Amino acid sequence: MYESFKMDLAGRELRVDINRVGKQANGCAFMHYGDTTVLSTATASEKPRDGIDFFPLSVEYEEKLYAVGKIPGGFNKREGKASENAILTSRVIDRPMRPLFPKDYRNDVTLNNMVMSVDPECRPELVAMLGSAIATCISDIPFDGPCATTQVGLVDGQFIVNPNQTQWKDGDLQLTVASTKEKVIMIEAGAKEIPEAKMLEAIYMAHDINQTIIAFIDDIVAKVGKQKHTYESCAVPEELFAAIKEIVPQDEMEKAVFTDEKQVREENMRVITERLEEAFADNEEWLAILPDAIYQYEKKTVRKMILKDHKRPDGREITQIRPLAAEVDIIPRVHGSSMFTRGQTQICDVCTLAPLSEVQKVDGLDENVTAKRYMHHYNFPAYSVGETKVSRGPGRREIGHGALAERALLPVLPSEDEFPYAIRCVSETFESNGSTSMASTCASCMSLMAAGVPIKKMVAGISCGLVTGETDDDFVLLTDIQGLEDFFGDMDFKVTGTVDGITAIQMDIKIHGLTRQIVEGAIARCREARLFIMDTCMKPAISEPRPTVNEYAPKIISVQIDPEKIGDVVGQRGKTINAIIDETGVKIDITDDGKVSVCGTDAAMMDKAVEYINTIVSDFEEGKIYKGKVVSIKEFGAFIEFAPGKEGMVHISKISKERIEHVEDVLTLGDKVTVKCLGKDKMGRISFSIKDCLE
């Protein structure tokens, strides 16, 4: 017999069925929020995976198109690889939960969320986040929960808890906050220049709501939760640490890591590693875990230097940003390009413009999102960190970083009416030593301006790190963390924004939450740093968008026509529009509301295409002069084509001022002529005259 648990969450019923389905999983929660249904499961292997020094957690978010009454498109009528939204949702579930598992746990764990029904009033992503937490809490898998997640939107100046799909898409804020009983453990946000104080208000409103959900989960665990299983600890023995310190004293390790050159530090650590491998060559047990032990020793050394001595590995002050450099137009012939360098992190971004027909089609569970006009893609090749590895295409990290930079810039992009282009930015990582996603945001902003995209304001981003001690008050915030400080620190708090407010936040932590003092401090520190980056680095390179698009970018002319005359422009089976395209070489897109976009690189041909379109949709007016060519000759006159599919007739008596016996005496096929509209004849037909245009 299964049990159901219910609570009111933001005015809707949240119901969790336990032991109804998925009984062979370690934990299973059958989630219902409104009519949204998600099956969340948590499973773990019986034994740790051999030969690894990390916790092997996998999070899956499966979008079943039957959930919204769709059959997958394409030849194969089965769901394919995970969509970008599914990957991003999996990352948002992973980030708050991963730190709550034991650090020495090496058993494989999989959290799977299958979306089976979607109610537009209840976003399935949120239900999956809650389902993963509940399934793990009631399972026998070691987990220091519970944790809960709440989403907050902002519509007409009012916060909305767990907004529906439309409110989430069209509102001014898309905030996701995860919490434990005491602290915030994850923040993800997209915002339309929300002031820092307003953002903090929303974050802690969500945190308070999370406490009611946690109480609900506690009740479920108390009634149906399993006893947590014991596991084989993979912690490094203290005896090994002591032996390492005998060979490599603390001061020697500090000297090895204290350098602003990543390559020098890696060489120093290589030498130390070889000495230790030689020393423990006869101890196979210790030799197997030596890499993890060295990593832990290096980590403790860096953390001590920062926390106790306020010394950073590269010698910077706690609030100091690494050397900055920026330039634009580094790549010829592309539509826009820039390069942004911060220390040993370097991003080249290239912007490409195209007609709106090139927008990315999105086939997912949200009916409100069917296309993306702005696309940001991020690439992270192995050479950027001095490694050799075959490229297998973008992974979840690359997709996540691209989405963050995309979200950061969306609020400042011009509307389609203001700038009728599809826009793609590609960030190529040339060199990486921490926070390439924030460098990508800065580089993308500059390449957009270089391409002539009239963005409303400049956007920059920076990451703030953290090292904590034994108490909540014992911590150090680090502005602009490099790779080592990210690896060994407790937080990667990324914030992007303009001078007026925040456009995106992404917070990753490795500890069991942040106090409000830390969150407020990090947000304030990031604002100060991003303004510094804009003023001292980005603005000297390019201070505002260029007034016109690049010479190699396509030009677009927009024309509004009567929607009822779209068929006239298209013609039977596309004959008319294809004739215009063939003659002028332009690309033409027409929307259902009659908006016509003419795209091309030859201004004269674009003007000609627009003239054709205007002629096709306009009614012939008496007294107006038109230009066309002779396409047919009859005994009684000639037919003149003014635009593809648009013709009129000139009677033989209206061709010349002198009397003529045959039309061919004056006109031949293909002649270009100028005519005057005479209005309608007795039979209601439009009549034209050539002779009235002759001098």
367 pLDDT above the threshold of 80: no
Topology at the third CATH level for domain 625-693: OB fold (Dihydrolipoamide Acetyltransferase, E2P) (2.40.50)
pLDDT digits (tens, 9 = 90+) for 17-45: 999 999 999 999 999 999 999 999 999 99
pLDDT band at residue 533, thresholds of 50, 70 and 90?
Answer: very high
Mean pLDDT (whole number) for 342-357: 95
Please calculate the CA angle 292-343-542 and round it to the nearest 5 degrees.
145
| Cα–Cα distance, 116 to 22 (Å, whole number) | 14
| Biggest distance spanned by C-alpha atoms of the chain | 117
According to the model, what pLDDT value does residue 490 have?
94
Instruction: Decide the pairing of beta strands 107-117 and 646-651.
Output: unpaired
What is the CATH superfamily name and number for domain 3-153+192-224?
Answer: GHMP Kinase, N-terminal domain (3.30.230.70)
Given the candidates 3.30.70.100, 3.40.50.150, 1.20.1250.20, 3.30.230.70, the CATH classification of the domain at 324-541 is: 3.30.230.70
253 pLDDT above the threshold of 70: yes
The string of DSSP codes covering 256-318 is HH--S-HHHHHHHHHHHHHHHHHHTTT-HHHHHHHHHHHHHHHHHHHHHHHHHH---TT---T
Q: For CA atoms 264, 266, 272, 275, give the dihedral sign.
A: negative
| Cα–Cα distance, 663 to 499 (Å, whole number) | 71
| Cα–Cα distance, 485 to 477 (Å, whole number) | 11
pLDDT band at residue 618, thresholds of 50, 70 and 90?
Answer: confident
According to the model, what pLDDT value does residue 695 have?
63
According to the model, what pLDDT value does residue 50 have?
86
Alpha carbon of 325 to those of 206, 436, 539: distances in Å?
Answer: 38, 14, 11
Counted residue by residue, the chain has a size of: 695
Task: Provide the 10 A C-beta neighbour count for residue 332.
Answer: 7
Helix (H, G, I), strand (E, B) or coil at 243: helix
Mean confidence (pLDDT) of the chain: 92
Instruction: Decide the pairing of beta strands 555-560 and 587-590.
Output: unpaired
Mean pLDDT (whole number) for 157-173: 96
pLDDT band at residue 453, thresholds of 50, 70 and 90?
Answer: very high
According to the model, what pLDDT value does residue 391 have?
83
Task: Provide the 10 A C-beta neighbour count for residue 576.
Answer: 21
Q: For the chain, how far is it from start to end, CA to CA, in angstroms?
A: 98
| Cα–Cα distance, 473 to 70 (Å, whole number) | 52
Given the candidates 3.30.9.10, 3.90.1150.10, 3.40.50.720, 3.30.1370.10, the CATH classification of the domain at 555-617 is: 3.30.1370.10
According to the model, what pLDDT value does residue 427 have?
98
692 pLDDT above the threshold of 90: no
| Cα–Cα distance, 136 to 144 (Å, whole number) | 10
Mean pLDDT (whole number) for 664-691: 85
The tokens of 492 are what? 């990667």
368 pLDDT above the threshold of 80: no
pLDDT digits (tens, 9 = 90+) for 649-667: 898 888 888 888 888 888 8
Task: Provide the 10 A C-beta neighbour count for residue 487.
Answer: 15
Mean pLDDT (whole number) for 403-420: 95
Mean pLDDT (whole number) for 288-295: 87
According to the model, what pLDDT value does residue 526 have?
97
240-246 long-range contacts (CB < 8 A, ≥24 apart) are: 240/286, 240/289, 240/290, 240/293, 241/293, 241/296, 241/297, 243/279, 243/280, 243/286, 244/276, 244/293, 244/294, 244/297, 245/297
According to the model, what pLDDT value does residue 76 have?
84
Helix (H, G, I), strand (E, B) or coil at 453: coil
According to the model, what pLDDT value does residue 193 have?
97
